[in-house]
Amino acid sequence: MKQYLNRGIKEIIQEFPETGRILDTFNIGCTACSVGTCLLKDIVEVHNLPYEEERALMLQISRVIYPGVEVEVPRIERKAPVGDGKITYSPPMRALVDEHTVIKRLLALIPRILEDLDVTREHDRQVVLEVVDFIRSYADRFHHAKEEDILFKEFSDDLEILKSMLEEHRIGREHVKAVLDTAERGDTLSVKFHLTSYGQLLLGHIKKEDEILYPWMDRNLSTAQVGELFARFAKTDEQFRDTASRQKEFVRRLEKKFSHEEVTNNV
C-alpha cells in the first residue's frame, strides 16, 4: 500500500476508478479537480481528515487496489496536528478570503453579461474589456500576486497542491487572453466560451483555496510567519489601494445595473 501513497491521485483514479467515488464520499473532490497531481498521502493531510476517517478512507482504497487481501494500512505522517474540522482563518488568510468574495460577486454576473452579448457592438465589447480589466488588475495582479509572490513562497515549490493551484492560475490567464483575442475578432461565441470556462475554473479554484489550501497553510505557518504575511499584505494593499477600490466600485455598478434591469423587466 505504501507505494501508492506517493502516487498522483489522478493516476490512481485512472487505474482504479472506484477510488474516485470513495474520495467523493469523503467530500474530497479529486475527480472534479482540473489538475489532480496531488499525491495520495498529501490528500489526507491537506484535507485534515480526522484519524478515524483517514483509516476508513485508506481501508476502502486498499480494498479496491488489493481485492480480497487484508493489507496493512499505514497511518500518514502529519506535519501539523489534526484540527477539529472547523475552518478558521488567520488575519492575512481572512483578507484573501474576503478578496475571493469580491471576485465571486463578479463571477456571479458573468451569465447575465453573456446573455445578449454581441461583441460586434461597441458597447458590448466595452463591457467585456471592463470585465477583463477587473480580472487582470484585481483577481490576477492584486490577489494572485499576493498568493504567488508572497504566500506560496512560504512553502516548498515541490508541493503538488501548489503546482496545481499555479497551473489553474495559468489556465485562467490563457482563457482571459483568449477572451481578448476573440473579442477583437468579433467572435461572440468564443468570448462566451472562454469567459464561462474562466468563471467555472475560478469558482472551483476559490472553493479549494477557501476550504482546503488556506486552512492547511494556516495549520502549517508559525505565528511569526503569519505576522510577516500580515505586514507584507498590508504593503500590497497600499500599493493597489486605488485599483482595489476602483474595481470594487465596478462590481457594485454592474450589480446595480443588472438588478435595475431586472426590476424594469418585471414591471
Contacts of 91 (CB under 8 A, 6+ apart): 226, 230
Of 42 and 124, the one with the shorter C-beta distance to Fe ion is: 42
1 or 204, CB closer to Fe ion?
204
Neighbour tally for 66: CB within 10 Å: 12
Q: In a 3-state reduction of DSSP, which class is residue 53?
A: helix
**Nearer Cβ to Fe ion, position 47 or 208?**
208
Locate 263 and state its grid cell: 426590476
3-state DSSP of 4-52: HHCCEHHHHHHHCCHHHHHHHHCCCCHHHCCCCCCEHHHHHHHCCCCHH
Strands (E), 69-171: none
Q: Using the minimum distance from each CB to Fe ion, give the nearer residue, 4 or 152.
A: 152
The nearest distance, CB 44 to Fe ion, in angstroms, is 22
Q: Which residues pair with 39 in a beta bridge?
A: 8
166: which strand partners? none
The closest of 185, 189, 205 to 143, measured between CA atoms, is 205
CB of 164 to Fe ion, least distance (A): 10
Q: At its nearest, how many Å lie between Fe ion and the CB of residue 14? A: 25
Least gap, CB of 138 to Fe ion (angstroms): 11
CB of 34 to Fe ion, least distance (A): 13
- Single out the residue of 213, 85, 233 nearest to residue 146, CA to CA: 233
Write down the least CB distance from residue 143 to Fe ion, Å: 6
Do you know the residue count of the chain? 267
Binding site for Fe ion (CB under 5 A): 147, 209
Give whole-number Cα distances, 263 to 55, 216, 260, in Å.
Answer: 54, 43, 5
The residues, ordered by sequence, that sit 6+ positions from 64 with a Cβ below 8 Å of its Cβ are 16, 18, 19, 22
Contact between residue 195 and residue 114 where contact means Cβ atoms under 8 Å apart = yes
Nearer to Fe ion, 192 or 208 (CB): 208
Nearer to Fe ion, 137 or 190 (CB): 137
Task: Write down the least CB distance from residue 97 to Fe ion, Å.
Answer: 9
User: Please, which residue, 54 or 147, has the CB nearer to Fe ion?
Assistant: 147
Closest to Fe ion by CB, 42 or 168 = 168
C-alpha span between 124 and 261 (Å, rounded): 16
Least separation in angstroms between residue 92's CB and Fe ion is: 12
